[in-house]
Structure 1
Amino acid sequence: MHILGNQALRSRLQEALRTSPPAPAYLFLGPRGVGKALTATWMAARLLCSGPEPPCGLCPACRKVHSGNHPDVLRIDRVEGKASVGIDDVREGISAVQLRPYEGGYRFWIFSEAERLTGEAQSALLKTLEEPPGHLVLILVAGGEDALLPTVTSRCRILRFGPVDVQAVADSLLEHGVSPERAAVAARISSGSPGLALELVGTGEIWDLRESALDLASGLPGSQTWQALEVAASLEALKTGSSDPKADLTRVLDNLMSWFRDALCLSVGGDEGLLVNVDRLDTLRVLASSSSPRSLDRALQAILEAFDHLHRNVQPRFLLQRLCLELSRVGA
């Protein structure tokens, strides 16, 4: 299994597993898409492998782990359409992990989005963390610690994952057959997240949403009120088919943020190597030359406010109308 980035961290983990038994519980922290869940799978394969140099990737145990069919690896993933992982899911898992391993020397319990565990679910998990069965290795994968109880995090060995070098992400995309221009843009948009970069180029709908959002954003500065409201309606209509009602609007706002942030960078004489939307450099130069840094900064503040409104469940139509009216004033 090839996992891009964070190699030093995995080397330390490999050495620790070679010289001593695993800890009862781990907390893998870091941005989305940087290999935390893949490392959890790698770790399970490493400890369940029956080959001479684990993880060999070829033995029955490794193949079962990688295919998601190993009886000693229990995964708790968020159900599509549900915002959280509840206490019933945890209670069911507690009963399962008390059993002795079926095939290997350990049983793994992996939570792919641990920050989505409800408070009740985390409290139910505490008993297992305090008195874990000797065969259990529990791995919590999360973007941050804020949503986790201190009593949970304090009982875990914490490994912190960082972003991957942007050029390394772009090179990886080239190996997947992505065009150089699209690979460069996707790597920058992902901020060093191979998983997010692959998601962006692998799903035409997400890339198309980005293209449409930037086309609409480029026409906002200096537009009339009625034009800004039309843009707001068009932005609201951008969809990828996601079951999460906030996911597409978040993507729209992310693209608007990167667009006006790039323009601000150019307007103050920043390095073009820092830009995200390098495939639209000419249009960005025009926007930067015709807009003051102050108005571009106001645009970014308006987008941040829109993110806040989204998290507070403000109606998308109202949120976008207000935002687009503010963005129409860029350059004024």
Structure 2
Amino acid sequence: MLNFQEIIGHDQIKEHFQKAIEYNKVSHAYILAGEAGMGRKSLANAFALTLLCEKGKSEPCMECHACKQVLSGSHPDLIYVSHEKPGTIGVDDIRKQINDTIMIRPYSSYYKVYIVDEAEKMTQQAQNALLKTIEEPPSYAVILLLTTNQEAFLPTILSRCVQLKLKPLRDFTVKKYLMDTLHVEEADADIYAAFARGNLGKAISLASSEDFKLLHGEMLHLLKHVKEMDISELLDYIRKMKEENLDIYECLDFMQLWYRDVLLYKVARDMNQLIFKDEYSSINEISQKCSYEGLEKILEAIDKARVRLDANVNMELAMELMLLVMKEQIDRRREP
């Protein structure tokens, strides 16, 4: 479990929590919203750790009995709300774990902290049951709702909670963490950071993912050789992607990043701005063979493939149409 100083980014949210503690203005209910992997749990845990610390300051001491209890997962005044049904948090979960216990005063701390992960899974009945509690909570109670989708909450819940939304980190910040902490090579860190789009947890996961390494290799081969492949070879490659269970949406993301590099190099002629720096030779070659109009059509084709997949169009057909556009547009010399 991390303290505030050890959490990468999200400075505004950390400062909000720390000032709330410092000025004794802690709210009774918070919503922490953001993508999975962005740090909602880390921020909630750091806030709980700081609230329960015996020193009462804006950073936990990490040494007192209360801090040690939180770190070991045994503090009686920190409650993680669980649910048996994986897709739903029901009214009984809220009543038994929050409503029926919240009026019992803290055992050893000034605060009693409840953390509800995947809070968007609360049913309407569960939210209404929680609403009765957060409308008139005891002074010591703090409820943290962690969610990937705050639109799932009733307006009455939203209006009674402090809403804090996690923002993506800068690619540079993610890249630096990967290189300094996980000792990832710079070329790989560039790709993981760009692919994660500011989500540090996703970047860390990609860095250790064998599936992503497979996807990376397959996509590079396809993008570098699509021009030479005939229709039958393209169809075989699509079937191979399907057989290897590659995430097709991640494949499309990869293609977008690749052609973003091609377009950027065609405009700026600066390899230092590339994500795929190690593939400079191939990117330079494609940028010379493909016109600006052609690159625009390729990027549009990738977007269309995504739309078709969302509409449940056959995957092989959607990918075939997209790859044919790529093949057609490369080597059309309309611009110098």
Give the alignment's TM-score, normalised by structure 1: 0.81
Whether the 8 Å CA contact 1:229–1:324 is kept in 2: the answer is: no
Tell me the equivalent position of 2:208.
202
C-alpha displacement at 1:49, in angstroms? 1.8
Q: Secondary structure at the match of 2:329?
A: coil
Tell me the equivalent position of 1:36.
40
C-alpha displacement at 1:42, in angstroms? 0.3
Identity of aligned residues (%): 28
What per-residue deviation string (whole Å, max 9, x for no partner) do you get for residues 176-218 of structure 1? 2222332233223323332222111123332332232232233
Change (3 A) 1:86 1:30: closer
Match of 1:19 among 12, 18, 23: 23
C-alpha displacement at 1:233, in angstroms? 1.4
> How far apart, CA to CA, are the structure 2 residues paired with 1:86 and 1:120?
11
> How far apart, CA to CA, are the structure 1 residues paired with 2:311 and 2:153?
21
Whether the 8 Å CA contact 2:120–2:149 is kept in 1: the answer is: yes
What per-residue deviation string (whole Å, max 9, x for no partner) do you get for residues 37-60 of structure 1? 211110011111234654122344
Whether the 8 Å CA contact 1:295–1:330 is kept in 2: the answer is: yes
What per-residue deviation string (whole Å, max 9, x for no partner) do you get for residues 79-126 of structure 1? 99x6xx4242x5313321121345433333334444455656545544
Whether the 8 Å CA contact 1:115–1:143 is kept in 2: the answer is: yes
Tell me the equivalent position of 2:268.
269
Tell me the equivalent position of 1:184.
190
1:46-195 paired onto structure 2 within 5 Å: 46-51=50-55, 53=57, 54-75=59-80, 85-88=87-90, 91-98=92-99, 99=101, 100=104, 101-115=106-120, 117=122, 122-123=127-128, 125-143=130-148, 145-176=150-181, 177-195=183-201
Q: Secondary structure at the match of 2:9?
A: coil
1:204-219 paired onto structure 2 within 5 Å: 204-219=210-225
Q: Pairwise CA RMSD of aligned residues?
A: 3.2
Tell me the equivalent position of 1:278.
277
> How far apart, CA to CA, are the structure 2 residues paired with 1:226 and 1:310?
22
Whether the 8 Å CA contact 2:89–2:121 is kept in 1: the answer is: no
Change (3 A) 1:152 1:282: farther
Whether the 8 Å CA contact 2:82–2:93 is kept in 1: the answer is: no
Change (3 A) 1:152 1:324: farther
Change (3 A) 1:266 1:120: farther
Tell me the equivalent position of 1:233.
239
> How far apart, CA to CA, are the structure 1 residues paired with 2:215 and 2:95?
41
Structure 2 unaligned blocks of 5 or more: none
Q: Which moved more, 1:194-203 or 1:40-49?
A: 194-203
Letter in 1 for 2:88: G
Whether the 8 Å CA contact 2:83–2:89 is kept in 1: the answer is: no
What per-residue deviation string (whole Å, max 9, x for no partner) do you get for residues 233-269 of structure 1? 12223447xxxxxxx3332222122112222222333
> How far apart, CA to CA, are the structure 1 residues paired with 2:272 and 2:176?
17
Aligned residues: 321
Whether the 8 Å CA contact 1:86–1:121 is kept in 2: the answer is: no
Letter in 1 for 2:93: E
> How far apart, CA to CA, are the structure 2 residues paired with 1:46 and 1:123?
29
Structure 1 unaligned blocks of 5 or more: 241-247
C-alpha displacement at 1:273, in angstroms? 4.7
Letter in 1 for 2:252: L
Give the alignment's TM-score, normalised by structure 2: 0.80
Tell me the equivalent position of 1:308.
307
Change (3 A) 1:264 1:224: same
What per-residue deviation string (whole Å, max 9, x for no partner) do you get for residues 266-291 of structure 1? 23337545433333222222222211
C-alpha displacement at 1:136, in angstroms? 3.1
> How far apart, CA to CA, are the structure 2 residues paired with 1:310 and 1:119?
31
Letter in 2 for 1:282: S
> How far apart, CA to CA, are the structure 1 residues paired with 2:278 and 2:122?
39
Q: Secondary structure at the match of 1:27?
A: strand
Letter in 2 for 1:153: L
What per-residue deviation string (whole Å, max 9, x for no partner) do you get for residues 23-75 of structure 1? 12112234553433211110011111234654122344334434555444344
